[in-house]
Structure 1
């Protein structure tokens, strides 16, 4: 038995089909933002609602809907859940061994100001992790670091989600842009150039926006010099690398230059007052007073600081290696070259890669082009970023000197802490897969594409919607990239701008994606508080996607010379 996707399944009307397809999304917002359900309950019930809508309105067979949900759930566990478990595990090791106290001190030695700490860790360091790994690792690790420094967990998670806006389009060594070349036929370099002429405006703004969310306009102006150094160094590097090097390196280069430029700048410039949260001891002292207080604190040697940061340095190195395209192929068992070392890795990767067909679903769904859609459980164990982080955890065991018994005990405690977050992640990814397999997400996209002359304005909303549903800018580009191209050609819009807008608009949906919300809460120990985090980020997501919509329309109608 096969199932042919029908995007006008409800009353033979695209409009009504799109309205019905909105039901699971609206239910999810209601469950979290209004009803304030625990994340795993909201996730499971949203998955059930999506299956009901797929079966009763889009005529998808029950078995296929259930198996599609299982395919998404497996992907929610590996690679996404696996990243979260190992990231939190690494952080817990550094806490248990006392190394995180030294890390905290080293950050405070650069600046005790909470505004500047957020720039260094949430914005710059988080962007580096996004460029190297993606898939939730940036928010998980940077949020955990901020919590360790003393940030409120909810605040830390929210700030990291918002900061993660700038680098998402070039995440995981440029995969979102490289991937969309296939379905659209537009060279990745051209898309990279166009995204690089949109996102730098957002990237320059995000540090200012981040600090203003934290402290308001007046206190943001107190650290404006540092904000400008952080944002402008990132934005300029992002523009240059995306336009002259390609989509692979903008995040990594921009993040490193921003991180080092800001840290060096802070050696020569200090804010007049140190900002701390209201829950902390009041400190309205000048920089000179801050220096005096530093003299009373414990000082660590350079070797001690390096040792404390070593787990994260090792993590960065291994994740970067995991992201190199040829190594990534070998880790997944797909390398076909002649290099002896990579061939050896390929053998191991092949043995640890499992791609079983999804029973009753593989090649059973027929899309509108008449092609059968393959469906497999993709289990690339060695290639998963979580495995890279686990290797860093093993190396960290020897760096910190923690015993194997305590190492294993800490891992068990982490697994226990993560059980409800993993259920949440598995269910919301299952919801995304059901939405895609049934044709609901495409119905929504096609309805937005009917906006005609206003499509250049609404184009980024397709990406925003795609990332909200799938949790991934890559998936959103694959889902709507070709639709963007076809619609753009029909309304007189440059298809390069439309496809780029899909990716740029998508980055603003990351902070409210059910997957991202679940990952962020899991990383900071707020399982069950997903509703509060969504309420925190929702308005900022709307604001930022509106900026991208306006920018895209202006580039289409007024500043068309910016299109490559």
Structure 2
């Protein structure tokens, strides 16, 4: 048995937290300053996490290695499993030239690239986040924007920044459901508070996107449709998360925002439609199929049937206990063979191949080429997740979390930072909620703050860390056909990530007092 220590460096939580950040600092310095390849930075960070876990935290070698393997497996399945299959569908649409049809169809809605960026990255990306999550929105939207004529770097940056507001309710509400489970707070309460924080982000994000696409001129010329798009998304996300069901919040928000945007703009076709109605239907079919498959997968009897194929077992060689003496959740592992986004996208891909009339041999070959194209991304993501699991299981992440949670009166401001940090490490708001959700509630009890406020702040702040997560940067780089450019992307999106994080921190501080306290349920 290995018991985690909170303060292994001289009994000091501060010094221990500083040492615990070494693996993360290693990754971000190599990416953003030295500008190494992402997989090199990830492997170096993984090595650093091993050194800290063994030499500082006293974790047994076998358990550290086993934890790293578990993280790598999680990186392969479900994370890269969904990315591979999502890009496979895209490759088949390119092969059959239906992606060109889709691009021309978007041109019929508007010739304005700024509007196209909002429709694809913000509205359609939010729908993909609602149904799939785990990097699929960034992967799919990046390749769509490149096909629409965006430069690869701009396409990646727009997709990364757009993938913020919907994340807390992504993958059919998985992050907030996880948050409720680990904190013991009612799901409705947690979802209601998150639904009164992230909609504020939705007001800003479309405006930021048009700035990224076309600078301040873009903001001057398209502020109205961007604002309408953001307002529609915010209102729908708030209303559905608070009064209907958190699982449906992003689906409703994405569809309503797209409808509001289309109604606001003036349609200015740049070319007569040269494609038949049947070809246009086939071009949209893959994405319609994805929506239908995921919707069917959420029907309770179907979901229960799919869940029967889930394997849950004790991970070999792991026997880790927290500093309080309780076994950590990482000792067990689940493999949802059927009820996972990647498998559902695979099913959608098989149906897509039939609809687009792609020969079986060609479809299989395209899947193989997709895996080959993603080989370095797969290495990066598995290394990053291995790093995250070693940090989590050894206690490094918990040390950092407790250090931030000990901020006292400043906790309301720093609470979103903790969630942001968790997502930056793991690439998942769900994982960050599982890591720090209970800690936020405990810290709230020590400071007299509302536990539901800090728990929600963990998730709401976390969504802003997704755009700088190494695994998401790698997904965007590969999808936009810019392998090895993760460092460039990090420098491009980091200011937006930090800027929006400060906004969220201020919102939480005001909600903790009388200024915006009325916003809480």
Contact 1:124–1:256 under 8 Å retained in 2: yes
Question: 1:322–1:60: structure 2 CA closer, same or farther, 3 Å change rule?
Answer: same
Question: 1:328–1:528: structure 2 CA closer, same or farther, 3 Å change rule?
Answer: farther
List per-residue Cα deviations over 1:231-285 (Å, max 9, x = no partner): 111111111111111321110000011112212333xx25xxxxxxxxxxxxxxx
Displacement of 1:326 = 4.9
Contact 1:322–1:385 under 8 Å retained in 2: no
Contact 2:211–2:219 under 8 Å retained in 1: yes
Question: 1:137–1:224: structure 2 CA closer, same or farther, 3 Å change rule?
Answer: same
Displacement of 1:369 = 2.6
CA RMSD of aligned residues (A): 1.5
Determine helix, strand or coil for the equivalent of 1:378.
strand
| Residue 294 of structure 1 pairs with residue 238 of structure 2 | no
Determine helix, strand or coil for the equivalent of 1:155.
helix
Counterpart for residue 189 of structure 1: 188
Contact 1:172–1:323 under 8 Å retained in 2: no
C-alpha separation between the residues in 2 aligned to 1:486 and 1:384? 31
C-alpha separation between the residues in 2 aligned to 1:307 and 1:491? 57
Contact 1:133–1:323 under 8 Å retained in 2: no
C-alpha separation between the residues in 1 aligned to 2:363 and 2:217? 46
TM-score by length of 1: 0.89
Displacement of 1:217 = 2.1
Contact 2:154–2:212 under 8 Å retained in 1: no
Contact 1:84–1:523 under 8 Å retained in 2: no
Displacement of 1:303 = 2.1
Which among 425, 434, 451 is matched to residue 478 of structure 1? 434
Counterpart for residue 421 of structure 2: 465
| Residue 330 of structure 1 pairs with residue 329 of structure 2 | no
| Residue 560 of structure 1 pairs with residue 520 of structure 2 | no
C-alpha separation between the residues in 1 aligned to 2:7 and 2:315? 26
C-alpha separation between the residues in 1 aligned to 2:332 and 2:369? 32
Question: 1:454–1:356: structure 2 CA closer, same or farther, 3 Å change rule?
Answer: closer
| Residue 305 of structure 1 pairs with residue 280 of structure 2 | yes
For structure 1, the 5+ residue unaligned runs are 271-286, 334-348
| Residue 372 of structure 1 pairs with residue 299 of structure 2 | no
Displacement of 1:305 = 0.6
1:258-297 mapped onto 2 (5 Å cutoff): 258-266=257-265, 269=266, 294-295=271-272
Determine helix, strand or coil for the equivalent of 1:509.
helix
Question: 1:325–1:220: structure 2 CA closer, same or farther, 3 Å change rule?
Answer: farther
Higher Rg of the two aligned structures: 1
C-alpha separation between the residues in 2 aligned to 1:355 and 1:237? 36
Counterpart for residue 27 of structure 2: 28
Contact 1:78–1:384 under 8 Å retained in 2: no
C-alpha separation between the residues in 2 aligned to 1:328 and 1:156? 35
Counterpart for residue 358 of structure 1: 315
| Residue 173 of structure 1 pairs with residue 172 of structure 2 | yes
| Residue 453 of structure 1 pairs with residue 430 of structure 2 | no
Determine helix, strand or coil for the equivalent of 2:407.
helix
C-alpha separation between the residues in 2 aligned to 1:204 and 1:227? 9
Question: 1:498–1:420: structure 2 CA closer, same or farther, 3 Å change rule?
Answer: same
Displacement of 1:324 = 4.4
Displacement of 1:325 = 5.3
C-alpha separation between the residues in 2 aligned to 1:64 and 1:483? 24
1:127-166 mapped onto 2 (5 Å cutoff): 127-166=126-165
Question: 1:501–1:391: structure 2 CA closer, same or farther, 3 Å change rule?
Answer: same
C-alpha separation between the residues in 1 aligned to 2:228 and 2:519? 25
List per-residue Cα deviations over 1:125-162 (Å, max 9, x = no partner): 11011111111111111112111212122221211111
Contact 1:75–1:377 under 8 Å retained in 2: no
1:344-493 mapped onto 2 (5 Å cutoff): 349=309, 353-361=310-318, 364-373=319-328, 375-493=331-449
Aligned length: 519
Contact 1:93–1:410 under 8 Å retained in 2: yes
Question: 1:159–1:326: structure 2 CA closer, same or farther, 3 Å change rule?
Answer: farther
